Amino acid sequence: NFKTGTLARWGFDDAWFEQRAPQTVRCSITGYGEDGPDAQLPGYDFILQAESGLMSICGMPDGGATKYGVAIVDLATGMMAANAVQAALIARFRTGRGQKVEVCLFDTAIALLANVGNSHLATGKEASRYGNGHPTIVPYTTFDCADGPIAIAVGNDNQFARLAQLLGQPEWVTDPRFARNADRVVNRQAIEERVAVATAHWKSEALITAMRADGIPCGRVNSVAQALANPHTLARHMVIMAQRADGQVVKSLASPMKMKDTPLQVRLTPPHLGEHTREVLIVEFGCTQAQVDEWMRKGVVA
């Protein structure tokens, strides 16, 4: 992430593009954007999660602010940039002119507040942490079964009625504290405690099977290893295997984009450590074989 003005200092400012390459679509990705009081600051995903408020809504209610498990702001900013460039290309088809596209980590992080941010703007109320729960839908969280946790997402009153029946608690539906979702939100702790007691007697796979048969959204809380070994993951070809020249097989995550006519393919495998050291130093930089041998002997290069 270059600081604002880096490209201009190299001579490629807006005027240069307007004069010499008016059809070019170019994209600027910075930490904080090209204006505003923080425009000159470098961008780091972790810091942006903190400053944007994202961190404040992640974690358990009785715990502290927590970062996401992946660099979500970095990843989302790249996606925003790709979408913006595509939109600019479509505009060029219509106008014949390119344009500058600006995306920054800060703006993306603010946009990722989504419904939570809009709720604050509409009501003025500060957002809270709900752990795995949902601020306006209950029960919508994780529950422990006898052999591990599952996620249950009851989206409406009909689904709740089916869940109550399945768990052997039909009286929940007529209890005024739980009959409607609005009531359950007010009495969140009471209903979640009751659901937790009921699910604790089930094996996770049996309960998931039963709930899915009744149209109740649910799923296992998988570890990364379990998710990558999931039959559906493999059926969707989300784990790819490529063979290096030495026969070693390398596993990697695949692209989620499935293109019928021009499918994505693995062209190159990740290199071994130092696989191209000699090639780069000798061919590209003009070093001698003896120099490279000496540097390798001393551990200067690998």
* Structure tokens, 69: 């498990």
| Beta carbons of 77 and 104 less than 8 angstroms apart | yes
231-261 pLDDT tens trace: 999 999 999 998 888 889 999 999 999 999 9
Positive or negative, the Cα torsion across 291, 297, 301, 302?
positive
- Sites in the chain below the pLDDT cut of 70: 1-3
**What is 140-221's CATH superfamily?**
formyl-coa transferase, domain 3 (3.30.1540.10)
Domain-by-domain residue ranges, the chain?
6-123, 140-221, 223-254, 273-302
27-42 pLDDT tens trace: 999 999 999 999 999 9
265-291 pLDDT tens trace: 888 888 889 999 999 999 999 999 999
pLDDT of residue 288: 96
Start-to-end CA distance of the chain, whole Å, equals 28
pLDDT of residue 251: 94
Contacts by residues 169-173 (CB-CB < 8 Å, ≥ 24 positions apart) = 169/194, 169/198
Q: Which CATH number fits domain 6-123: 3.20.20.70, 3.40.50.10540, 3.40.50.620, 3.40.1190.20?
A: 3.40.50.10540
Catalytic residue, candidates 62, 74, 157, 175: 74
Q: Report the percent of the chain where pLDDT is more than 70.
A: 99
| 74 part of the active site | yes
Nearest to 150 by CA among 191, 212, 199: 199
